[in-house]
Structure 1
């Protein structure tokens, strides 16, 4: 019994250590002792750092402060200049997609750019040309170059409106050549027109005075060519027959016009607004198949979106 008591006393003495603090006794386990030593060590390191900082501050503010370069320590957060505008700048574009629409009057002219005599029988106010265009503009010579090259594909629709009861047809009196002939079999002609539809392929070199890195933000001047292929030529007239009933007739025929041709194109624009002049460089009709050698031209106003 005594032996058991002695072993119990010895075990308790190894687990319990009495420390007097303010007159009180505390029991500390071995694990607690290890933790306490760690805390004391960290506290001593912190006090050493704070002491070094106080010494440095005293030296910095004292007579030895000249040895510390002020430009390295006198910078505050408020004085730091963080320029983040570069992260939001748009990269200058070198190419951009383009959609355009143009509308304006067209006419037949001679080689000297004067009006053809056929225009005496054409209603200029009802003779129009419309074009839709899808393409691309590319910069030539770098991202900030003002020189741009435009290509794409367009669809054109031209209308020549005749007056004085005439229409376009192959005249047997002129050995089948195209001519403006009177409409027969009608008591009244309300309207007579000729539709010419084409596929257009423009290639235009522009000088764009927009801010660097942008498209169509300022004055724009362009010069180039436009190839075209005719896919529809149809003459239509409306009126009343001899009995007063409504009558319409439509004839699809090339009327000896050229299937392929090309035009010289000039364009002046400001921002999205464009004024375009177009004049075909080949006669509109085949040689010797019309009473005079005429060229198809137009002046259109439109817009270009990109």
Structure 2
């Protein structure tokens, strides 16, 4: 299992690295193209992509850092650092989107002429480049990869909108379409960032992961005749993938250490199907007065 975990980390790092270089190269082309076509939609997307490039660079760095084992400072290792990348990504996107909206909204009422044909060619290129990056990242497991993949998927959808808008502007005199696209892309980005930020904050604030059902854990523990009570139960996630459980279990009588070890192994085995990767169990005797709350 350790080998698979290392492999998936290496795979994730490689994916983010490829997406970073794709995005950075294309951002440069996009800024030049946006200035050439005088398109606010393309320039705002260039700013968005520049933010994404910074985010991807951070993600690559944090994904790499998160592979380090435990140290004197970080006893759980550096897994949570990949989550820090996801949060910085989200902040960059929020700041970029708000900046875009402050430029695009005034232009809705005073639109400028744009080069619709140039926009069309750039949109096709944008769909191909960002589509390739999404394809590279879409099977990612970490929140970091999912956030990055979402950024790039938004870019693809943004370019599809620019493509449609440029085709309309080639046949109809409607320059307001360009800033309108810019506003819609920004609002869509903000909505999705909110959803991802909510998930990342749940992990940082040590909320119970969505995929873990405490009632199911209690039910499984009740199946053991040796267990009379479970309390002081805590479940949290390190990075959105690696989940941890600590629990106090009261036994019906005193057992030898070898029997306790056997029971612990059985409990771990039955709970590993519940998306829990790390389990710490403490056994309490019948006469032990534990004041901690029941699960």
Give the TM bin, normalised by the shorter chain. under 0.3
Look at both structures and tell me which one has the larger radius of gyration over its CA atoms. 1
Q: With structure 1 as the length reference, what TM-score do the two structures score?
A: 0.17
Q: With structure 2 as the length reference, what TM-score do the two structures score?
A: 0.18
